Amino acid sequence: MPDENTVSKAAVYLNRKLPRTRTITQGLVRDAEGRVMLCQLSYKKFWDLPGGVVDPHESPAHALVREIAEELGATATITGLRVVSWLPPWRGWDDAMLYLFDVELDRPAGEFALQRKEIAGIHFVGLDELDDRVAAYTAKVIRRAVTAIENGESGVYLENGDEPGWA
């Protein structure tokens, strides 16, 4: 029987040949009024949810906790997976999978230690303000995640922010 730590030639070959899909993780943080926390990014036109790209061999949940610690100086507690959405290729990027988690933070926004090279500011906005602040896709995903929370749903699957045609 092969040692479980031994990598087979087939695994090496297939790891090189099979497609790899980029994985993105984000957190949905809301205040007592239900407003959504958005990061004003230094490198993007639109504001976005906290999070980022998952590193190789890292889980989406661990990546989110790491990203929030790096970018906000806060400790995140994940309370649930709300949305998983496939993203089609866009502006030269290959397709990706987005994992959106419901998150609680260990401190109020006023006590964050922002990573200024990426985060210019933090803002809480109502769902009615999303269209003016975030990309259209992001607004759809946030609204669906909030609906999932209100309905007690978890792990809602979307394709490009929309319910799939077969659902």
Specify the pLDDT at position 122: 97
Other beta carbons within 10 Å of 121: 14
Specify the pLDDT at position 60: 98
Q: Does domain 19-159 have CATH number 3.90.79.10?
A: yes
Dihedral sign for Cα atoms in the order 131, 132, 136, 139: negative
Specify the pLDDT at position 18: 75
Average pLDDT, 10 consecutive residues per value, the chain (167 residues): 67 78 96 97 95 96 98 97 93 90 95 95 98 96 96 94 85
Distance CA 165, CA 111 (A): 43
User: Pick from 91, 100, 121, 123: which is nearest to 27 by CA?
Assistant: 100
